Amino acid sequence: MRISGFSFFLVLLISFTYSCKGPYEDHSHLSLFRYNEDGNITSLDPVYARNQSNIWATTQIFNGLVQLDTLLNVKPAIAHSWNISSDGTVYTFYLRDDVYFHDDEAFSGNQGRRVVAEDFVFSFGRLIDPALNSPGSWVMNPVALKNDGTLDMEALSDSVLQIRLKEPFPPMAGLLCMQYCSVVPHEVLEARGQDFRKTPVGTGPFQFQFWKEGVKLVFRKNENYFEFEGNERLPYLDAVSISFIQDRQTAFLEFIKGNLDILTRIDASYKDELLTPEGDLQEKHNDRFYKLTGPFLNTEYLGILVDDKAPNSLSALQKKKVRQAINYGFDREKMLKYLRNNLGTPAHAGFVPVGMPGFDKNEGGFSYQPDKARRLLAEAGFPNGDGLPSIELSTTSLYMDIGQYIQHELSRVGIRLQINAMPPATLREMMAKADAAFFRGSWIADYPDAENYLALFYSPNHAPAGPNYTRFTSNEFDLLYQQSKSIVDDSLRFEYYRRLDSIIVEEAPVVPLFYDQSVRFLPHHVKGLETNPLNHMLLKRVRIEGQERNL
């Protein structure tokens, strides 16, 4: 017999008093985890899980065929196993028979039914439905299409799903780990329509309970969740509460007061209060908190428009040696120490970041060599910077400190920068239209394969059609990139990736700044939080130990 949901009392308690705090309330018997989201959650429908805010929330509610572990290995989820044909084009998944959707009135008897292979055919079909305009539709691009335009996949039985690709694409299993690929029930979609975004039903460790947009979002434990740790069913928490405090200083104070169980952002306004210049937790906080860090697949960089046909390109930046001089002309290690309290890794190895499978820390990149920068400028026709026009760097106010640091450093080798700070939306538009000759950017991995980063330099991806904002073009790069996409053997494919990254280092269409690092501060009573290089919020193994809940 399946276990019933929470008691009526607990549901009411969480839904209606969770955001309140009174002197006579006793919540010490509950295991509740509280985090703040300073961004805006726009939808709880996984087909719109585009940004971190939506991804973190939907991760708690939904599952896919497969999932990533903390080292970015693809592991079973609803599919207990799978195989890939010898030519790399046919994926066959074998589903568990004990995975159920959350209980909902849309199902017969109000009890969630078992997930079957046809549910994935339906869910993946939603991704390419033009009426939904999902930002995740590209995930299905490698999948072949049938004559009627539908995806070439078939439920061979309730427990067997087969997917056919147009051509081999080794990152496909990693793509299927994305939240876009979560399974959803057609009955609930038919009953809810557009309201599914705010009252979702999935299979995940937590199920939706309450959402007052911009104020509070509450999930409660899924008592019937299919994953176990040893003999104990996950998750351990009774509930998760998400607040929406947009001011980071206010959220920091709520964390210090004990009203939040995690701090996930570092802001300039309080970073020195928490961290030493070396990046360690300040000693005065050691008795209450601990710091959890790990690689975050995010490369922060400066992009250079290298398309001389673009109307706003700068002729000086079309010279490779000028671009290389910029790369050698500032100290990345000092930048991280003084501006980020050593949070991150200096980007000396290329564009592909630390933590990505296939990353090569010995790859030749850019270190701080000011004399070499001056020599390169002279070879480019600008000795000591003479005759080199001032270069405008387009950035946002959030990164002004980094821009000013680089401006000061480069002035010492003869390169003059002007900094133009603008709203993020304006900068993104300028990048897409090739209106920014020199711009600050970042690239966060969508899936754990370096192809995700190298696609930024593939010429068919020139913006605005794709993410090649520098409009870099290289026949050698394009050929190697195309060849790498069909190589199934990981070690050989990684060798191609290293060769591709070395081309980017040599041609220097970007100035890699640093490889990011996730950092989370937690009180000592929070145990078991997992991290991975995609910076996901993984709560199914979190425990709250020996701590009364003061809500």
Residue 269 falls within a domain, yes or no? no
What CATH number has the domain bearing residue 108? 3.40.190.10
Q: Which residues contact 241 (CB under 8 A, 6 or more apart)?
A: 14, 18, 19, 32, 33, 34, 35, 216, 217, 218
Provide the 3-class DSSP secondary structure of residue 97.
coil
Residues 349 and 488 in one domain: yes
**3-class SS at 267?**
coil
Q: Is residue 126 part of a domain?
A: yes
pTM for the model? 0.86
Q: List pLDDT tens digits, range 29-73.
A: 679 999 999 988 999 999 999 999 999 999 999 999 999 998 899
Is 210 in the same domain as 345?
A: no
How sure is the predictor about 5, in pLDDT bands with cuts at 50, 70 and 90? Answer: very low
Quote the domain boundaries for residue 478. 296-516
Is there a domain that residue 524 lies in? no
Average pLDDT of 165-187? 96
Residues 493 and 537 in one domain: no
**Residue 328 included in any domain:** yes
Residues 171 and 301 in one domain: no
- Residues 131 and 233 reside in one and the same domain: yes
Same domain as 163, residue 124: yes
pLDDT given for residue 364 in this prediction: 65
The whole-number average pLDDT for the span 166-180 is 95
Verify that 483 and 538 share a domain, yes or no.
Answer: no
**What whole-number distance in Å separates Cα of residue 125 and Cα of residue 127?**
5
Average pLDDT over residues 385-406: 95
Q: Are residues 225 and 312 in the same domain?
A: no
- The percent of residues above 70 in pLDDT, for the chain, comes to 93
Q: What is the pLDDT of residue 214?
A: 94
Give dist(CA 418, CA 264) in Å, integer: 32
Categorize the per-residue pLDDT at 355 as very low, low, confident or very high, splitting at 50, 70 and 90. confident
Cα–Cα distance, 104 to 5 (Å, whole number): 11
Q: Has residue 465 got a pLDDT over 90? A: no
Measured distance CA(8)–CA(104) in Å, rounded: 15
Cα gap 384→35, rounded to integer Å: 52
pLDDT band at 2 (very low <50, low <70, confident <90, very high): very low
With respect to residue 388, please indicate whether it lies within any of the assigned structural domains.
yes
